[in-house]
Amino acid sequence: MAVLVGKKAPVFEADAVVNGGEFVEKFSLQQYLGKKHVIFFFYPLDFTFVCPTELLAFQEKLADFEKRNVAVVACSIDSKFSHWAWLNTEKNKGGIKGVKYPIVSDLSKTISANFDVLAGEWVYDEDGSINFEGGPVAFRGLFLIDKEGIIRHQVVNDLPLGRSIDEAIRIVDALQFFEQNGEVCPANWHKGDEGMKADSAGVADYLSKH
């Protein structure tokens, strides 16, 4: 699996559903360049089990991301029509009604492949035929992209393992603290904690206090 940290986020244009039910063509993360940080996360499939808990948890914390000027965008290999149906299904029936952030359709699986989170790969057999080995869905990948379009953080979970939305917020806080203050964030840093100067004196000073 590729490490994309420090590299430009792959560029794409794709169908998406926004504001809980509006179709958008040629949705792109490029619209946020120079304006917002982006949390771009993948999930395996609509109408599954762990996935609605994650998407609803991101919605519950959406105001926390927005006050940090961070856009939250989700993506799976489902069609825009599947996204729309899921968004219009009540929570007590396994739906995610109430989710307002964009959900991208990666029906071609090219976005998942370019971010290297596709759970499988195309291989040639002895006859020269190409077949897909593995489950053709996305792992639970999450990418923090800065305003310049550079990936600054990535984490990829296997399909059964749900993510921590609080940890995603903590990482946003850490990046923004570094951007604003030029100080780095030591282990277990949380917003409001002291940072550390990135030199030997700064390390020594921080460790002497802790």
Q: What is the mean pLDDT of each run of 10 residues along the chain (210 residues)?
A: 94 98 98 98 96 97 98 98 98 96 96 93 78 85 98 97 97 97 94 87 67
pLDDT at 1: 67
Report helix, strand or coil for 16: strand
pLDDT at 133: 75
| Residue 31 DSSP one-character state | G
Enumerate the CATH 3.40.30.10 domain ranges in the chain, comma separated.
14-162
pLDDT at 130: 77
Tokens of 92: 């007590």
Nearest of 147, 151, 148 to residue 117 by alpha carbon: 151
pLDDT at 200: 66
Q: Which residues are catalytic?
A: 51
Helix (H) or strand (E) holding 190: none
* Architecture category of domain 14-162 in CATH: 3-Layer(aba) Sandwich (3.40)
Read off φ and ψ for residue 80, nearest 5 degrees: -65, -30
pLDDT at 81: 98
Residues forming beta bridges with residue 41, ordered by sequence position: 74, 142
Read off φ and ψ for residue 162, nearest 5 degrees: -70, 155
pLDDT at 206: 64
Tokens of 117: 């989170």
Q: Rounded to whole angstroms, what are the CA distances from 204 to 78, 174, 177, 188, 201?
A: 51, 20, 20, 17, 5
pLDDT at 132: 73
